[in-house]
Amino acid sequence: MVFLVLALGNIGPEYADTRHNIGFMVADYLAEKFGAPRFALGRHAFTTEFKSKGHTYVLVKPTTFMNLSGKAAQHWLSALKIPAEQLVVVTDDLALPFGKLRLKGQGSAGGHNGLKDIQATLGTDVYARLRFGVDANFPKGRQVDYVLNPFSADEQIDLPLRIEKAGEAILAFGAMGLERAMNVVNVK
């Protein structure tokens, strides 16, 4: 079975290590772990793929910037000829503590503009999303600055392990299906 892993982030070296680019970091981790070919520029995204336990995971890092992520989602679902049920979107989440993961199968965009665009473009909120907590440690009105800045020095110590856990969550989604993976990933 083929799964589309849509990793949200912004293109450009100035965004590389920012909280908003945690999706790209998780995709990079999986590509490296499984020895995937280098990401290649395709339509609306850089892509690569790898195989694990009989499944193919297509990693997609949109080139459309975060707020237009729906274009990449729609194109790659169509190109791969797979339904939205085989899509998992990896994104940052201010409502979760740093490193906390939450896997869901549907729901609101939670104020996240990338998810809003995906839902508007696909016409549904029924697709898996893996939310990676980046905390909300910023003064009122400074949300954009916060997500477009790197993780703190303390967070960077734990970041590799948290990214690895996010990678494991994606593999669980493919191997077990959404419901069982949620039971594993969403433990307190």
Q: Report CA Rg, the chain.
A: 15
Predicted TM-score (pTM) of the model is 0.94
Q: Are strands 45-52 and 2-7 parallel, antiparallel or unpaired?
A: unpaired
Low-confidence ranges of the chain (pLDDT < 70): 139, 188
Helices (H), 38-130: 69-80, 113-122
Length of the chain measured in residues: 188
| Catalytic position from the list 20, 44, 75, 112 | 20
**Residues 35-54: tens digit of each pLDDT:** 999 999 999 999 999 999 99
CATH superfamily, with its number, for domain 2-185: Peptidyl-tRNA hydrolase (3.40.50.1470)
DSSP track, 121-164:
HHT-SEEEEEEEE----S-TT-HHHHHTSBPPHHHHHHHHHHHH
- At residue 187, the pLDDT reads 81
Please confirm, yes or no, whether 20 is among the known catalytic residues: yes
**Domain range list for the chain:** 2-185
CB-CB neighbours of 13 under 10 Å: 6
